[in-house]
Chain A
Amino acid sequence: MVPDLDVLDADEAADAQGLERLALWAGQRYAPFVAVDYPDGLWLDISGCGELFGGEEALVKDLFRRVNGSGLTAQIAVADTAGCAHAVARHVPAGRPVIILPGDQKKAVGLLPLAALRIPTKVASDLHKMGFTRIEQLIAEPRGPIARRYGHELYRRLDQALGHAPEAMAPIFPPSLPQARRGLLEPIGTADAIAKVIGDLTDDICAALMRGGTGARRLDLHCERVDGQYQSVRIGMASPTRDARHLTKLLVPRIERIDPGLGIETMILIAPIVEPLRSAQADLTGDTHRGPDLGALIDALANRFGYDRLYGTTPCSSAMPERTVKRTTALRECTDRRWNAVLPRPGRMIEPPEPVQVIAMMPDHPPAQFVWRGKRHKVVQADGPERLQGEWWRAKGLEADSPYLVRDYFQVEVEGGGRYWLFRLGDGQWSSTGPMAWFIHGAFA
């Protein structure tokens, strides 16, 4: 026995509240559609949300890391159907997020015990006594006799897990956020009609944002269909905005991702992330000298191509030229940081460097000629070497684990005027400084 054991009564109401709080947080951060699966689960519909994180895998990893970091023990599964994700999350103790590839739910669910199907324990144990240990056995049996004995609930759950039957979930919406709602008299299904309603909703939500003195950084559009299913899309903005025209322009291209089914009867627009936005004050003289409206352009590009495809660059201190460029976000403060204006750097970089065959006098003469991609180039003039050394502490790259490695860079001009950037790995004298192999790393103007 444990004499100093503290015994506390389960507080189910508080547990449920905590779970709802977690759901609202996940809804703000990861997916527009979040539903609570009492007592211990959450549904996240992450379809199309991966882009904001750089892929679904990255999204799930981030979620897993944050939930575990907060002291909870989580098991995450991603699958085509809610039923499959539910089963895998609870019955595959992988200790890391599990992603079931599209179309693989039958294979995945088939290997799990019947209890994974969200059926009463009594039914599961009865079936187990009859010899059904895995779901694939149930799939293989004819349905009639088993359904007569155990009810249709069993097969409804199975179909939901396999994606043959729809599953209605009630999303949880945060109450205090700016939102707009339109109940429609007649269910709509055409893109034009949806676009019209989106226009009305953005007007409403911008009025709500205006009252709060805020702008939206993220918007979720939920469409409730006649059959109780929700279709949701999410857009992100680089800077807070409450320009209804701009928001409409971002939402309308997403219509193609909404499957209206038999018709949409309610549309809800929510701004899960808002930031303070001061109202612009008009200049007294009437003429405004504002810069171009880059926020709208960057949002349009980012929502089309993804945020990771849109960036600025800024200098980053590193000894190795390929690492002197750091990516920044597209909308950024001016830093006025520039690269070294003396060192020559090529306009086109060949990364990773490609090996070339070189004829050069040792120890430190520039190449006399080199062969790259099967073409021989005769060097007319050259400049160099520029000796670079260091960064052996990095895990990747040429220098990894080789503290003495040296790169000697030469800028060479070949016949015809083309200029290339070549380097020799090694100082030309000591073999500990590198294998004396030559590489091409770029082409100059």
Chain B
Amino acid sequence: MPRNAILEDLRSSIAHVTGDGRRHGVHPFGLDDIDDHLPGNGLATGALHEVLGSLDICDDAAATIFIAGILARMEGPVFWCLRWRDLFTPALDLAGLHPDRLTIVEPGDDKGALIAMEDCLRVAGIAGVVGEVSKLSTTASKRLQLAAEGSGVTAFILRRAAKADALIEGSAAQTRWRITASPSENLGIPALARPRWSVALERVRGAEPKSWIVEACDAQGRLALPAILVDRPDQQEAWRIAV
């Protein structure tokens, strides 16, 4: 067996063991820093992703727009299962998620939201399903992950008002993100610069946790890196070369 083929074989078995056996494609963020870190160079589609805010409503709002931005760059209808009624859809439009694509389901409680999500996840051709819940059990996450794998629809669980230090149950989700607001650039004039978020990838299958400071979604749902960071030499890389 040629050397390359052996390596390829090994790689695929490692991918299988580490749970990186993606059955569907990936959806890049369009930011090399984040994409290069994620296995497959993007967010896995046809999988479950958890997004956490915090007790601060601003962080929940940031998490909301983070998800909206990802979905805005996908194609197809989006279903948003609400438990609380404070979602303001014009803001999703500002992040690029067109109102014609969005359908809102209001099941009223966690259980209903999970049932609604699972119903939506069984229909292939939908871009994504978002469920806002306060708790997610391991079993429920497995069910959602299996349903997402089956249809290729990407699922997002938005955990509202998640405590920073709360013990989190094991989850079958591919990734877990924690989005918090971060101070924006001071423009020196009485106006606000583009908002910034701290995007923490707390858990991902097949890669290490990492966090970034990014500039929030623009009107097409694209994130950006703050200008200072873009020009800074990659210290980690430099260190590696030096060693």
Write the residues of chain A forming the contact surface with B, with a CB cutoff of 8 angstroms: 291-294, 296-298, 300-301, 304-305, 309-315, 321, 324-325, 330, 332, 334-339, 341, 344-351, 366, 380-383, 411, 413, 415-420, 442-445
Expressed in whole angstroms, the minimum distance between the Cβ of B128 and any Cβ of chain A is 12
Over the window 20-43 of chain B, the binary record of Cβ atoms lying under 8 Å from chain A Cβ atoms (1 yes, 0 no) is: 000000000000000000000000
Task: Confirm or deny: B126 has a beta carbon within 8 angstroms of a beta carbon on chain A.
Answer: yes
The minimal Cβ–Cβ distance linking A265 to chain B, given in whole angstroms, is 34
Interface segment among B95-103, B133-141, B169-177, B230-238: the answer is B95-103
On whether the beta carbons of A313 and B123 are closer than 8 Å, the reply is: no
Chain A residues closer than 8 Å to B162, beta-carbon distance: none
16 A–B contacts, CB within 8 A, in A order: A293-B125, A304-B119, A305-B116, A309-B106, A311-B103, A311-B104, A312-B103, A337-B99, A347-B68, A348-B60, A348-B88, A417-B195, A417-B196, A418-B56, A418-B59, A445-B216
Interface residues of B (CB under 8 A from A): 56-62, 64-66, 68, 76-77, 85-95, 98-100, 102-108, 112, 115-116, 119-120, 123-126, 180-184, 186-187, 190-193, 195-198, 216-217, 219
Q: Which residues of B contact A341 (CB under 8 A)?
A: 93-94, 219
- Beyond known contacts A312-B99, A417-B180: 17 more, CB 8 A cutoff: A292-B126, A294-B126, A298-B103, A301-B116, A334-B100, A336-B98, A338-B93, A345-B90, A347-B61, A348-B88, A350-B57, A381-B190, A383-B191, A413-B195, A418-B56, A419-B61, A442-B61
Q: Are the C-beta atoms of B93 and A445 separated by less than 8 Å? A: no
B86 cross-chain contacts in A, Cβ below 8 A: 348-351
Q: Which of B57, B76, B116 has the most C-beta atoms of chain A within 10 angstroms of its own C-beta?
A: B57
Chain A residue numbers with a CB within 8 Å of B219 are 341
**Can you name the residue of chain A whose Cβ is closest to the Cβ of B197?**
A445
Q: Which residues of B contact A324 (CB under 8 A)?
A: 90
Once the chains bind, are A417 and B181 in contact (CB under 8 Å)?
A: yes
Q: State whether B107 touches A345 (Cβ < 8 A).
A: no
- Main secondary structure, interface of B, reads mixed
**Chain A CB within 10 A, most for which of B89, B95, B116, B196:** B89
CA–CA, A292 and B128, complex, Å? 12
Q: Return the contact of A348 from the options B64, B76, B119, B123 (Cβ within 8 A).
A: B64
Contacts of A336 in B (CB 8 A): 98, 100
**Once the chains bind, are A443 and B58 in contact (CB under 8 Å)?**
yes
A310-B106, A334-B100 are known contacts. Are A382 and B64 too (CB-CB below 8 A)?
A: no
Task: Specify which of A293, A311, A313, A444 is in contact with B195 (CB 8 Å cutoff).
Answer: A444
Cβ–Cβ contact A309 & B192, under 8 A: no
**Complex-state Cα separation, A324 to B99, whole angstroms:** 13
Q: Are B61 and A346 in contact (CB under 8 A)?
A: yes
Q: How far is the CA of A207 from the CA of B192 in the complex (A)?
A: 63
Choose among A345, A416, A445 the residue that contacts B183 (Cβ–Cβ < 8 A).
A416
Set of chain B residues within 8 Å of A314, measured between Cβ atoms = 99-100
Q: B64 is contacted by which of A304, A338, A345, A347 (Cβ under 8 Å)? A: A347
Q: Is the CB of B106 within 8 A of A417?
A: no
Closest to A366 in B: B190
Contact indicator B102/A312 (Cβ below 8 Å): yes
Contact A309 B90 (CB under 8 A): no
* A50→B82 CA distance, assembly (Å): 22
Per a CB cutoff under 8 Å, which of B58, B85, B106, B191 touches A418? B58
| A310-B93 in contact (CB<8A) | no
B119 touches A312 (CB 8 A): no
Once bound together, how far apart are the Cα atoms of A292 and B56, in whole Å?
Answer: 37
Contact indicator A312/B104 (Cβ below 8 Å): yes
Q: Are B61's CB and A416's CB within 8 A?
A: no
A338, closest chain B residue (CB) = B93
**Alpha-carbon gap, A309 to B131, bound state (A):** 14
C-alpha spacing A335/B100, complex, angstroms: 7
Which of A304, A341, A417 has the most chain B CB within a 10 Å cutoff?
A417
Given contacts A345-B88, A349-B86, contact A339 B94 (CB under 8 A): yes
Which residues on A sit within 8 Å (CB–CB) of B94? 339, 341, 344-345
CA distance A314 to B90 in the complex (A): 9
A313:B89 contact, CB within 8 angstroms: yes
Q: In the complex, A241 Cα to B103 Cα: how many Å? A: 21
Query: Shortest CB–CB separation between residue B164 and chain A, in angstroms?
Result: 13
Counting from the closest, the 5 A-B pairs by CB-CB distance are A292-B125, A418-B58, A445-B65, A347-B61, A417-B181
Q: Using Cβ atoms and an 8 Å threshold, which residues of chain A touch B107? A: 305, 309
**Among B91, B95, B116, B119, residue most surrounded by chain A Cβ atoms (within 10 Å):** B91
Give B125's nearest chain A residue, CB to CB: A292
A445 near B191 with CB under 8 A, answer no
With a cutoff of 8 Å between Cβ atoms, the chain A residues found around residue B181 in the complex are 416-419, 445
In Å, the complex CA distance between A313 and B120 comes to: 18
Residues A292 and B77 in contact, CB atoms below 8 Å apart: yes
Question: Which chain A positions have C-beta within 8 A of B99?
Answer: 312-315, 337-339
- Determine if B123 and A294 form an interchain contact, defined as CB atoms under 8 angstroms apart: yes
Query: Is there an interface contact between B103 and A310, defined as CB atoms closer than 8 Å?
Result: yes
A442 CB contacts on chain B under 8 angstroms: 61, 88
Report how far A334 CA is from B76 CA in the complex, Å: 13
